Structure 1
């Protein structure tokens, strides 16, 4: 008998492997493009965003909060480029720059580029960043050019007018940067002392799902810091989900169209304020939650809502260590201005943001029938929850916020 030739033997082995593979149970298909696993959150936007979020929320009135760590980190790095001495050291500490400032700058640049490329597919986003100055020492031309070309910040000189006029101009700038959306008014007083500069960001965001939600015509209760009636959006399917029984919350990841970004929701098991969850929001804890997400059959209900906020972050940034930059005596922005130390300081860090939760998909035919899933877990977001928006290409934290209430009609008979 002749020995079997190598070619038929190889064919038999490949056939056997194919049979074994086809009989192996497969992971359920998750809606949309595959999402990258999150093994660590080392992007500088995460540390800044989580720390700043907690600082804003501690002791504050329980109202909607939303900020963009990516936009803010880029602006802070830009302004820090004009600082020296302990002032620049505090910018570096805040942004976790240990040795290589260039590497952090490149990480933020890549993230901003990725966000711009995803704009119009995974979401619509309108944003603007600027440095305003009034009665400030003359700023170096090279510094202003770098603000514009490297970081995308405009420089705007405020007119010699009253504080109310300055605020109207800033409000108008924010509205334009958010594509005409009416912006929330800042409650904090605006500092216009000689030498003060104002760092400002404005961002408007609306995500598009891989598959659209079905919107209910019936209004349902949303039990936040205000009890209101809202339209709810519904969908069943397979999503990445985790239940933290110890901390009594659900973690849900929702892919946006074409998989370029995702939204993560943190929902308490029961109706409660978010103070307990806010305290849990550390880098280590968020990394644990995201690392435990698994594909799960889900029945989802989300409120159709828009959240917005306007805040001067100067106080919170000082609490996190950015002290010298805000002090008109100790601030050293000698690289930004030839007038030297003590003549230029940070008077305000203004931040306008809005995020809309709507039922639309990123595709015209994105509204498909619900997936046929068995025994789905329920994620019913009829009470306050936290939202994280992540750029999937770079890992950057684009937005972080809390929906404490909706701007809908109040429930008068259930209070």
Structure 2
């Protein structure tokens, strides 16, 4: 293995990180949204071009979800984080490598259009109109000291993706470099993602590491009261019944149902972000997974109306780590992982992807969860008459959930809860 790596060195190591975090004791005294010296996001102005147009985050989200090994496990990832980091890499791809990446990522072929789309989305995410929640992202390029990266590539990454560019000495101090990058990730994610890069993942042949982090924290618009949380039964797909903490409330939310499933949209404070929960009526989540596309979700959202709903959902917390090499190759990004890779837009030397790592964390509790966009109409429209029996949304078996940015429509996080115990 060492011999092979010497033959194809230097290597490109691509590291991704996505985080979503919500505490059970969230308060509104959030830390300020000031950025560290490693971020370069500038204030958004309404004169920006291509307003209301974003990269194809949602299509990529569902494509990636369908290619993940399912098993009987919880799933949680940030398609925004992964797509952004891959798009930064795509900026330096040429030939077949570029064509494969563009087809899988569904990126606009026009350079300016693509870059402006990412620029707009990054600016919107990092410059919220409210201080009621935290939503921020950060990107960085970590380059081998004295290694020649093309200035045009660096200019694009800085201008449109707002990435910081730093030098590290991978050749002489791979372990120290690994720790430096991990410390950056921890700072960007409020210490919720630790040791993203495991020992040995960076060595003397590493020439470039790309990182992207996303962090969100918010309260529900309508909180669950802790005294209304009880130990109740949650039925796994196997039929096994377990006891978990289930949260209860009755309020007005966007809601819809069919013969196969129910859907509920729960906004976070200020209503820009929301969690959309899609619950199969029978304990068979595969019925929903087969339908899961951008069009399916948009149809759900457009069919919703404000209803008085009795909501019962579990508290849960878990973290996930993914090595996405095989998944991305199965999706069609193949050449980038071989010594035929063409990233000549980054450097003259031969570069290839060594590893793609994605790590996430989520906690859902009475006070809040992470970001997602929703209409929030249920919080602003008068509730139906108290004589009307509320709809019952009891999520006591596996379900799919999305966290969306209502303003842009982007799916920032997507997940599947199979077992609330983690």
Pairs aligned (count): 354
Larger Rg computed on CA atoms: 1
Contact 2:263 2:279 in 1 (8 A): yes
Report the counterpart of residue 394 of structure 1 in structure 2. 408
Contact 2:315 2:366 in 1 (8 A): yes
Aligned: 1:45 with 2:64 = no
Give the structure-2-normalised TM-score. 0.72
**Aligned-pair RMSD on alpha carbons?**
3.5
- State the secondary structure of the residue aligned to 2:270: helix
Aligned: 1:314 with 2:328 = no
Q: CA deviation at 1:319?
A: 1.6
Contact 1:198 1:348 in 2 (8 A): no
CA distance change for structure 1 residues 334 and 52 in 2, over 3 Å: closer, same or farther? Answer: same
Aligned: 1:291 with 2:302 = yes
Report the counterpart of residue 88 of structure 1 in structure 2. 98
Contact 1:94 1:322 in 2 (8 A): yes
CA distance change for structure 1 residues 135 and 190 in 2, over 3 Å: closer, same or farther? Answer: farther
Gaps of 5+ in 2: 1-51, 370-378
Q: CA deviation at 1:81?
A: 0.9
Q: CA deviation at 1:65?
A: 1.7
Distance 2:301 2:210 in 1: 32
- State the secondary structure of the residue aligned to 2:127: helix
Contact 2:309 2:392 in 1 (8 A): yes
Distance 1:346 1:135 in 2: 19
Contact 1:201 1:352 in 2 (8 A): no
Distance 1:264 1:184 in 2: 30
Contact 1:121 1:257 in 2 (8 A): no
Contact 1:209 1:256 in 2 (8 A): yes
CA distance change for structure 1 residues 136 and 269 in 2, over 3 Å: closer, same or farther? Answer: farther
CA distance change for structure 1 residues 380 and 166 in 2, over 3 Å: closer, same or farther? Answer: farther
Contact 2:53 2:408 in 1 (8 A): no
Q: CA deviation at 1:122?
A: 5.4
- State the secondary structure of the residue aligned to 1:257: coil
Distance 1:176 1:213 in 2: 30
- State the secondary structure of the residue aligned to 2:343: coil
Report the counterpart of residue 245 of structure 2 in structure 1. 231
Q: Quick one: which of 71, 77, 81 aligns to 1:61?
A: 71
Q: CA deviation at 1:205?
A: 3.2
Q: CA deviation at 1:255?
A: 1.8
Report the counterpart of residue 420 of structure 2 in structure 1. 406
Gaps of 5+ in 1: 1-39, 409-415
Distance 1:73 1:114 in 2: 16
Distance 2:135 2:306 in 1: 28
Contact 1:227 1:405 in 2 (8 A): no
Stretch moving more, 78-87 or 281-290: 281-290
Report the counterpart of residue 326 of structure 1 in structure 2. 337
Aligned: 1:346 with 2:358 = no
Q: CA deviation at 1:344?
A: 0.5
- State the secondary structure of the residue aligned to 1:118: coil
- Once the two structures are superposed, the pairs formed by residues 45-194 of structure 1 within 5 Å of their partners are 45-56=57-68, 59-118=69-128, 121=131, 123-125=133-135, 127-132=137-142, 138-155=148-165, 157=168, 159-160=170-171, 171-183=182-194, 190=201, 194=205
CA distance change for structure 1 residues 130 and 314 in 2, over 3 Å: closer, same or farther? Answer: farther
Distance 1:223 1:206 in 2: 29
Contact 1:48 1:69 in 2 (8 A): yes
Q: CA deviation at 1:403?
A: 1.7
Aligned: 1:304 with 2:315 = yes
Report the counterpart of residue 396 of structure 2 in structure 1. 382
Q: CA deviation at 1:44?
A: 0.3
Aligned: 1:213 with 2:224 = yes
CA distance change for structure 1 residues 277 and 189 in 2, over 3 Å: closer, same or farther? Answer: farther
Q: CA deviation at 1:318?
A: 1.7
Contact 2:53 2:117 in 1 (8 A): no
Contact 2:128 2:135 in 1 (8 A): no
Stretch moving more, 178-187 or 103-112: 178-187
CA distance change for structure 1 residues 237 and 204 in 2, over 3 Å: closer, same or farther? Answer: same
CA distance change for structure 1 residues 401 and 377 in 2, over 3 Å: closer, same or farther? Answer: same
Distance 1:49 1:265 in 2: 16
Q: CA deviation at 1:234?
A: 1.9
